[in-house]
Amino acid sequence: MTRARRIAAGAGLALATCLVASVTPAAAAGGWWVPAPGRARSISALASDQGQATLAIAGGVAGWYRPETGGFTEIAWPRDASTYGPPIAVAAAGGLGVVAFRNGRLLQVGGAAPGSWLSPVAGVPQALAVSTAAGQLAVASSRGLFSGRLGRRLELVAPGDAMAVLAPAAPGLDWVALVGGRLWLRAPASGWIRSPRAPVFARKTRALAELASGLLLVGEPGGLVWRGSETAWERVFQVLPYGGLGGVPQVTAAAADGPSAAYLATDGFGTLLTPDGGYSWYRAAPANPAIAALATVGPVFSARPRGFVIAVSRQGVYLHRLQALPQPPTYTPTNQAAELEGTAAVTLGAALLVILLLWYGAGRRRRLSV
């Protein structure tokens, strides 16, 4: 092997090593969603009160779920509950929970105490919301939206196929619901009204989030995401087809996170995050891309993140905590100047070395040709 070839081979090897070294950290930095600890659970519905109480339905059984430990405490209810069909929806607020059964029966639960039955609603419950501060409960069922005081009979306020209902995300905000693709609002101390300015969404729209600022995000099953308030609405995001004959991944759930952030779950692209009320979007996808339910526990996307996101797929439950971004190093003028000088020296040194080697190689070639 000639000297020129040896030099070239060495330089090539150095180049390849540098390239691999520069690419490897990016590949290894993934995996910031982790499977929830404990036994893998197949959860079908999930609700959190943003504090200590998270209610879930796992394997057809409702219970208090602790995502940090994987603990699951089944809720005890009267023996005759088996005739009501399986539990299919849950709501939680202020340490209180409500479980809805397929035949419309509602069970109020709190802590370790046995549950107590509430008056049922017509149709199959699809979502429910509870507020302990206002003592109110609302149920979205296949027959319509039902609302009333906790422990009293719930009144039908909007007939139709109700898919989603949310309690106010902050004091003073509205209750919101989606009935047959139409948005219904209930301001504090007033009745439910159909929002006059909201567009008519797809009939089966269920992904709805109310940010603490009052902004609403609605994700249609076809992938179009809207944002709006009582006064104006605009399209903010469109999910694209998965590819081939896969169609567009359905938007399955949405969860608000403070005044400006929200997570959106899809059954093909995992979860997406908007930190600024729908203006920009980020991939925040756990290992399994088909997410069926979503909840945030405490502030996640904030200056002081203390909470986490729970994403539920058929293969199990995933948790995501916002990682602290690497802090930029603090430089004194002295070491910054030293680093700049070092960088300049490397640049100049590398250029001079390469020029010398090229010069030497060209000289050898000339001698060989002579």
Partner 1 sequence: MPGLALSREWGALLLVLGGAAATMLLPRAFGDPQSVDPDLWRLTGYFAAIAAASLLLRRLRDQAPISFALLTLTLPYSLWLWFLGYGGALPSFLGSPYGLLRNALAGVAWLIAALLMAAAFYFLAPRPRPQLRMWVRPRPGALLLGVGGAVLFLVLAFALPAPLIGREGVPLLSLGGSAAVAYGIANASSAVAQEIQFRGVLLASLERQHSRRAALIGQALIFGIAHIATQYQGPADSLIPIVILLGLIWGWMTQRSQSVLPAAIMHVAAELFLVATIVSGLYGQ
Q: Segment 217-236, which members bind partner 1 (CB under 8 A)?
A: 223, 227, 234-236
The Cα–Cα gap between 218 and 354 comes to 59
Q: Closest distance between partner 1 and the C-beta of residue 358, in Å?
A: 6
Decide if residue 304 touches partner 1 (CB under 8 A): no
Q: Taking contact as CB under 8 A, which single stretch among the options 153-161, 210-218, 254-262, 356-364 is the one that binds partner 1?
A: 356-364
Give 149 or 365: the residue with its C-beta nearer to partner 1: 365
Nearer to partner 1, 76 or 240 (CB): 240
State the nearest-atom distance from the C-beta of 264 to partner 1, in Å: 10
Residues 273-302 that bind partner 1 (CB under 8 A): 273, 278-284, 289
What are the structure tokens assigned to 304, written together? 């002081």
The candidate with the shortest Cα–Cα distance to 194, out of 159, 236, 235, 220, is 159
Considering the complex, state which of residue 120 and residue 219 has its C-beta at the smaller distance from partner 1: 219
* Binding footprint of partner 1, residue count (CB under 8 A): 72
Q: Does 331 bind partner 1 (CB under 8 A)?
A: yes
- Segment contacting partner 1 (CB under 8 A): 55-63, 82-90, 146-154, 355-363? 355-363
Local structure of 96: helix, strand or coil:
strand
Range 176-215, binding partner 1 (CB under 8 A): none
Minimum CB separation of residue 335 from partner 1 in Å reads 9
Pairing of strands 271-274, 144-149: unpaired
Residue closer to partner 1 (CB basis): 189 or 324: 324
Contacts of 46 (CB under 8 A, 6+ apart): 54, 55, 56, 57, 65, 90, 293, 294, 295, 310, 312
Write out the binding residues for partner 1, residues 23-62 only, by CB under 8 A.
23, 26-27, 29-30, 32
Which of left, alpha, beta for 160 (phi over 0: left; psi -120 to 50: alpha)?
A: left
Among 78, 260, 346, 370, binds partner 1 (CB under 8 A): 346
| Beta carbon of residue 311, minimum distance to partner 1 (angstroms, whole number) | 14
**What are the two backbone dihedrals, phi and then psi, of residue 15, each rounded to the nearest 5 degrees?**
-65, -45
**What per-residue string of b and e applies to 185-221 under the rule 16 or more CB within 10 Å gives b?**
bbeeeeebeebeebbebbeebbbbbbbbeebbbbbbb
User: Residue 328, interface with partner 1 (CB under 8 A)?
Assistant: yes
Candidates 88-96, 120-128, 169-177, 243-251; binding stretch for partner 1 (CB under 8 A): 243-251
Tell me the residue type at 74: E
Nearer to partner 1, 71 or 363 (CB): 363
Residue in 303, 329, 332, 370 binding partner 1, rule: CB under 8 A = 329
**Shortest distance in whole angstroms from residue 289 CB to partner 1:** 7
Taking the C-alpha atoms of residue 229 and residue 145, their distance in angstroms, rounded to an integer, is 20
The C-alpha atoms of residue 154 and residue 151 are separated, in whole angstroms, by 9
**Number of other residues whose CB lies within 10 A of the CB of residue 338:** 12
Residues 6+ apart with CB under 8 A from 268: 242, 246, 248, 249, 250, 289, 290
Which 3 state secondary structure label does DSSP give 28?
helix
User: Applying CB under 8 A, does 102 fall inside the site for partner 1?
Assistant: no
**Considering the complex, what minimum distance in angstroms separates the CB of residue 306 from partner 1?**
18
